[in-house]
Amino acid sequence: MRGSALVLCLAALSACTSQPVERQARVNTNIDGPNAPLFAVAQRLADAGQHAAAIPLYRQAWSEGGQEKADVLAALARSFAAVGQYAKAEETLLLAAGKNSSSAAVQLGLGEVNLAFGRPQMALDNFDAALRFGGGAQAQSGRAVALDALGRHSDALAAHALAVRQGGDDVNMRSNLALSHALYGDHQAAIDLLKQVVADPKAQAQHRQNLVLAYVLAGDLEKAGEMARVDLDNQSASETLMFFRELAALPPSERVKVLILGAQAPERTLSDEGILSLMKPTTKKPLPSGW
pTM over 0.85: no
Mean pLDDT, residues 130-147 taken together = 94
Per-residue pLDDT for 179 more than 90?
yes
C-alpha span between 45 and 141 (Å, rounded): 25
| Rounded Cα distance, 275 and 279, in Å | 9
The arithmetic mean of pLDDT across residues 4-18, rounded, is 35
pLDDT higher than threshold 60 for residue 99: yes
Least confident of 36-40, 57-61, 196-200, 210-214: 36-40
Share of the chain above pLDDT 70, in %: 76
d(CA 7, CA 215): 16
Of 3-7, 34-38, 72-76, 155-159, give the lowest mean pLDDT range: 3-7
Q: What domains can be seen in the chain, in order of their start residue?
A: 36-278 (1.25.40.10)
Q: Kindly state the average pLDDT of the residues 49-54.
A: 93
Mean pLDDT score, 106-124: 94
Residue 25 above 80 pLDDT?
no
pLDDT in the model for residue 262? 61
Quickly state the pLDDT bin for 119 (edges 50, 70, 90): very high
**In the chain, alpha helices (H):** 36-47, 51-65, 70-82, 86-99, 104-116, 120-132, 136-149, 153-167, 171-183, 187-198, 205-218, 221-231, 234-248, 252-264
pLDDT of residue 62: 85
Q: What is the dihedral of CA 121, 78, 271, 127, to 10 degrees?
A: -10
Q: Phi and psi for 223 in degrees, rounded to 5?
A: -65, -35
Please write the tens of the pLDDT for every residue from 189-233: 999 999 999 999 999 998 999 999 999 999 999 999 999 999 999
Res. 257 pLDDT band, cuts 50 70 90 = confident
